[in-house]
Amino acid sequence: MSDTVLVRAVSAQDFEAWRALWDGYNTFYGRHGPTALADEITRTTWSRFFDGYEPVNALVAELQGRLVGLAHCIFHRSTILIAPTCYLQDLYTSEAARGRGVGRALIEAVYAKAAAAGSPRVYWLTHESNHTAMHLYDQVAERSGFLQYRKML
């Protein structure tokens, strides 16, 4: 078996394997147990990947025939750019596959997807405690210096 990471668009047959990764991602960020996402959110998110009118895209990474990572990105308008900008909303690699180039391959695939769409910029957020991921991010992008503020309504 090859150690080459294959990144591709998610397919309808990937639901169960994607769901396991999605659950791992949400657990990593503390969305589990009583704070877990409602199943309706997961199902709606999944359906958006296959709706041509939605700007939400999903990529998955395979290693030795198994899904080991996911990336979700959204194209949107900006007030400072004419072309759409690409927001890399979710990026996750299974624990067993970390350190094997999966995250980098997914980011590079998002860059390629954005370039093909004519987008001049890809950006994303991470939690300030996610030091392992930030080590990679510092190699493949530059920190913007912006902080996020939010209020749930």
Please name the helix (run of DSSP H) or strand (run of DSSP E) that holds residue 7, with its range, or none: strand 6-9
Is 149 within the bounds of a domain? no
pLDDT tens, position by position, 99-150: 999 999 999 999 999 999 999 999 999 999 999 999 999 999 999 999 889 9
- Please state, in angstroms and rounded to a whole number, the distance separating the CA atoms of residues 78 and 63: 35
Give how many domains the chain has, as a whole number.
1
60/75 Cα distance (integer angstroms): 18
**Chain centre to alpha carbon of residue 64:** 20
Query: What confidence score (pLDDT) does residue 129 get?
Result: 92
Q: Residue 147: what pLDDT?
A: 87
Classify residue 63: in a domain, yes or no.
Answer: yes
Q: What is the CATH number of the domain that holds 40?
A: 3.40.630.30
In this prediction, residue 137 carries a pLDDT of 96
Query: Residue 86 domain-assigned?
Result: yes
* 146 is a domain residue: no
The amino acid at 121: R
Pairing outcome for strands 66-76 and 56-63: antiparallel
Q: Higher-confidence residue: 149 or 3? A: 149
**According to the model, what pLDDT value does residue 2 have?**
67
| pLDDT at residue 1 tops 60 | no
Domain with 44 in it: 6-140
Domain-located, residue 153: no
pLDDT (tens digit per residue) in 76-105? 999 999 999 999 999 999 999 999 999 999
Please state, rounded to an integer, the average pLDDT across all residues of the chain.
Answer: 94
Residue 151 lies in a domain: no
What pLDDT does residue 30 have?
86
Q: Is 54 within 8 Å of 74 (Cβ atoms)?
A: no
Average pLDDT over residues 29-45: 88
pLDDT band at residue 34 using 50, 70 and 90 as cut-offs: confident
Greater confidence (63 vs 3) lies with 63
Q: What is the reported pLDDT for 69?
A: 98
